[in-house]
Amino acid sequence: MSRVTSAETFARARRREHRVLALLALAAVAVVVAFCVIALRGNWEYALTIRARKVAAMVVVGCAVAVSSVLFQTVTNNRVLTPGIMGFDSLFVLVQTLVVYFFGALALSSADPRLLFAGQVVFMVVFAGALYRWLFGRRSRDLYVLVLVGVVCGTLFSSLSSLAARLINPNDFVVLQDTLFASFNSVDQDLLVVSAVLVAVVSLWMGRLFRRLDVLALGREHALNLGVDHRSVVNQVLVAVAVLVSVATALVGPITFLGLLVANVARQLAGVSRHRVVVPASALLAVVALVGGQLVLERVFSLDTALSVIINFVGGIYFIALLIREAKR
Amino acid sequence: MIEVRNVTKTYGSTKVLDDVSLTIAPGGVTSIIGANGAGKSTLLSIIGRLLPADSGRVTVDGLDVATTPGATLAKRLAVLRQENHTSIRLSVRELVAFGRFPHSRGRLNATDLAAVDEAIAYFELEEFADRQLDQLSGGQRQRAHVAAVLCQDTDYVLLDEPLNNLDMRHSVQMMRRLRRMARDFAKTVVLVVHDINFASCHSDEVIAMRDGGVVAQGPTAELMTPELLSTVFDLDIAVHDIGGNRIGVYYS
Ligand SMILES: Nc1ncnc2c1ncn2[C@@H]1O[C@H](COP(=O)(O)OP(=O)(O)OP(=O)(O)O)[C@@H](O)[C@H]1O
Ligand SMILES: [Mg+2]
């Protein structure tokens, strides 16, 4: 029997990973093109611009959700929780609502939107850090307790948001509703550009950490033994996750289960946990899911339903299946 | 040289390590023995900077383990814990390759790959090198973890019960390898062992712990006495000279 060397084995694995990524990239390009050109009628130049903007929004949101979910799962060492499930995006909605509640819509519209967004992100960073330390800092971290805390937090934040929304005067409420119930159809162009830049910068920054994150995924003690500064990497990831969640939520509102779905399917397709593969694979999958889903909804069923409803339905079922599987282990 | 100075660790109101000071000379195999709960793992984790001490100081070749950057220390000191869980899917080969991380920073070159292959071969892991860790037996998994730590190729190697789950042949092979590393490459190997006879046959020095303190430290032959062993373990242990080794007998 000839001996299998590590060089050969790893080279074969790399080739497989490249194939998976190439296929996913192809699928993503295909749905994007299909979305832009299928049933293009009338003033096609105008229609194309509208569609392109919509696709751009979906790509930005898809990347933000996918990257933040994979990284969050790595630093929390589990496959079931995502920022969405832990209620991070509901928190962002709450922050937005409270800003309107305390300062009024007028102040909101007269303030520099970028400054406002920066303020909200800083708040998210602080809060996400505190929540993480509180939940994951302890030795014992029972998955079900964490899931429960996440669900409770999410519900609490949304209830507080709707309570605050009720107390806001009607004029302000209209403004708030515009920002909160944004969908891919009504994304603000300036916000989109800023978001795209932010997501790109944060993704590149995280890309530099990928190899260390591979080690971190083995667990805290393994990471320390192998010389990875656990605390510093986790802190950087938490800041990045807070920024990405804020961007995605500001653009289209919460899509709770999208991250969970793409992160896990990407891992399964790739067959490895390496971030260099899993992160881009999830981002591509998210684009396929969002653009493909919207395409089917709009062009095949001519439905006006928000895509998030369907993604959350599928993702929710998947979440329950994951929980049951974990329980059996 | 490993220097431990006045290290104390408390959990709640119980002192798990009480003002421990000791020095481990470079080059050689040192075994830490002691009953369950004596504080062996706690001490090893503190030396290996996996756990912060409440007070006191640990230095390795003069580097304070609490303040030296992890990446620097990881090239000199490797530590394996008593229990090792990984929540991700990982093959044996991938795990062993992670041992090269301090040197390769994730980019494996030919030297790294050769070290991985050598470790896999030595620990007889070839047959399941590409199997997932959770599809191995306990002893096979233990060998994979030890292989990963030795692949790190550090001057100091700390192993908490490396013989866990191993059969006799693999236990002996592992101890021989550790001894050879110490003799041929002047490595400093510190391990926690429960089988006093493995400690006796393969280590240069023994550290005996009890209730969070060091009871005795010295050359193996001097410590393998019925008096000392019975105070450390609260058990009558007879010691015989067999084939040039001091063997404790305590089974009946
Ligand atoms: N996280 C913890 N919280 C509270 N007490 C702890 C913790 N870890 C260890 N201990 C206690 O510290 C003492 C020493 O533990 P340690 O793991 O160092 O023992 P040990 O000598 O390695 O024992 P064993 O032979 O069973 O591995 C034990 O009494 C244990 O109960
Ligand atoms: Mg122990």
A217: chain B residues, CB-CB within 8 Å: 87-88
Burial A41-76 (b: 16+ CB within 10 A, else e): eeeeeeeeeebebbbbbbbbbbbbbbbbbbbbbbbb
Tokens of A316: 């929710």
Pocket test residue of B31, B33, B41 for ligand 1, highest count of atoms within 8 A of CB: B41
**Which residue out of A6, A10, A221 would a mutagenesis test of the B interface target, given it has the greatest number of B Cβ atoms within 10 Å?**
A6
Report the distance separating Cα B55 and Cα B203, nearest Å. 29
B74: chain A residues, CB-CB within 8 Å: 225-227
Question: CB under 8 Å to A181, separation ≥6 — which residues?
Answer: A253
A255 closest CA partner among A307, A298, A304, A296: A307
Q: Whose C-alpha lies nearest to ligand 1, atom 17?
A: B41
- Which residues fall inside 5 Å of ion ligand 2, going by CB? B 41, 82
Burial of A96 from C-beta contacts in 10 A (0-12 / 13-18 / 19+): buried
Do the beta carbons of residue B47 and residue B4 sit within 8 Å?
Answer: yes
Query: What's the half-sphere exposure (Cβ side, CA atoms, 13 Å) at A105?
Result: 13
In the reported structure, the alpha carbon of residue B39 is separated from the centroid of ligand 1 by a whole-number distance in angstroms of: 6
User: What's the pLDDT score for residue A60?
Assistant: 93
Q: Could you tell me which of A189, A212, A199 has the C-alpha nearest to residue A60? A: A199
Average pLDDT over residues B183-199: 92
Tell me how far the alpha carbon of residue A189 is from its chain's centroid: 20
In this predicted structure, the answer to whether residue B205 has a pLDDT above a threshold of 90 is yes
Q: Which residue, by CA, sits nearest to atom 3 of ligand 1?
A: B11
Beta pairing, strands B28-34 & B205-210: parallel
Residue B164 contacts residue B41 (beta carbons within 8 Å): no
Is there an atom of ligand 1 within 6 Å of B10 CB? no
Structure tokens at B43: 């001490």
Question: Does B126 contact A228 at a Cβ distance shorter than 8 Å?
Answer: no
**Span of A249-258, B49-58, B119-128, B135-144 with lowest mean pLDDT:** A249-258
Chain B residues in contact with A234 (beta carbon < 8 A): none
What mean pLDDT do residues B1-20 have? 92
Residue A3 has pLDDT above 80, yes or no: no
- The pLDDT of A227-235, averaged and rounded, is 89
B interface toward A at CB cutoff 8 Å? 48-50, 69-75, 78-81, 84-90, 93-94, 97-99, 101-102, 105-108, 110, 113, 116-117, 120, 126, 129-130, 149, 152
Chosen from B47, B77, B93, B94 to mutate, greatest number of chain A CBs within 10 A: B94
Q: Which of A267, A258, A318 is nearest to A294 (CA)?
A: A258
Helix (H) or strand (E) holding B60: strand B55-60
Cβ of B41 less than 6 Å from ligand 1: yes
> Distance of CA B76 to CAs A61, A121, B48, B59, B150, Å?
44, 41, 11, 12, 12
- What Cα–Cα distance (Å) separates residue A89 from each residue in A75, A84, A94, B195? 18, 6, 9, 54
Greatest extent of chain A over all pairs of C-alpha atoms, in Å: 79
DSSP state of A139: S
Within 10 angstroms of residue B227's Cβ, the number of other Cβ atoms is 9
Q: What is the pLDDT of residue A1?
A: 42
ipTM of the complex: 0.89
Q: Which of A288, A290, A270, A289 is nearest to A279 (CA)?
A: A270
- Ligand 1 atom nearest B40 alpha carbon: 21
Mean pLDDT of all residues in chain B? 91
Give nearest CA residue, ligand 1 atom 31.
Answer: B37
Query: Alpha-carbon distance A110 to A61, whole Å?
Result: 26
Residue listed under structure tokens 């494996």: B108
Is the whole-model pTM more than 0.95? no
> Which percentage of chain A shows pLDDT scores above 70?
91
What topology does CATH give the domain A23-34+43-328?
Answer: ABC transporter involved in vitamin B12 uptake, BtuC (1.10.3470)
Residues in chain B, overall count: 252
| Ligand 1 contact via B34 beta carbon (within 6 Å) | yes
Calculated CA dihedral for residues B36, B41, B42, B44, nearest 10 degrees: 150
pLDDT digits (tens, 9 = 90+) for B143-155: 999 999 999 999 9
Ligand 1 pocket test: which of B7, B10, B16, B81 has the largest number of ligand atoms within 8 Å of its C-beta?
B16
Residue of B42, B46, B192 to mutate, ligand 1, most atoms within 8 A of C-beta: B42
Distance CA A323, CA A197 (A): 36
For the Cβ of B68 lying below 6 angstroms from any atom of ligand 1, the answer is no
- Pick the closest to residue A237 from A77, A110, A113 (CA basis): A77
Instruction: Indicate the pLDDT class of residue B160, thresholds 50, 70 and 90.
Output: very high
pLDDT of A294 reads 86
A267: CB partners within 8 A, 6+ apart = A79, A273, A278, B89
On chain B, the residues whose CB falls within 8 A of the CB of A225 are: 48, 50, 74, 78-80, 149, 152
pLDDT band at B94 (very low <50, low <70, confident <90, very high): very high
Find, in chain A, the residue whose alpha carbon is nearest to that of B106: A211
* Tokens found for residue A16: 């497989």
**A268 exposed, middle or buried (CB, 10 Å; 0-12, 13-18, 19+)?**
exposed
State the amino acid at position A26 in one-letter form.
Answer: L
